[in-house]
Amino acid sequence: MANNGTTFLAFLTGAAIGAGFGLLYAPDSGEETRRKISENARRAQDDINRKYRETSSNLSSKANKAKTDFERRLEDTLVNASGKADEILESLEEKLEELREKNAKFRESRSKAKASDDPNLDTSTDNAVV
């Protein structure tokens, strides 16, 4: 894009210099010179409008491409994140199940230890956390 701007600026500079030399060395009458100036100005305006449309079109297509790429990458990221979240949840569920099993074993061994220490002790009110 910077290259297009540089090229366009060089084109305008060359056109202005060429028009200036043409006016200086032209043996035409004032009316003919004005007509040529008007024609050169119209051509320059047409060139500017054409370059503007080209640049605008290029920017629009690049913006659309960037938007499409962004949406695709975002979708990929969300799919990957969703997969990772599922893996994490499964892992946490497995760890929770392991902790429940350990807690049950701990409660059982604690109950047995209390029962062996004091057979008259009621172990039904065990306060172990699940």
pLDDT in tens, 64-119: 999 999 999 999 998 888 888 889 999 999 999 999 999 999 998 888 887 777 65
Asked if residue 70 lies in contact with residue 95, where contact means CB atoms within 8 angstroms, the answer is no
pTM score, two decimals? 0.41
Residue 127 and residue 125: Cα distance in Å, rounded? Answer: 6
**R_g of the chain, CA atoms, integer Å:** 42
Single-letter residue type at 17: I
% of the chain surpassing 90 pLDDT = 27
pLDDT of res. 124: 54
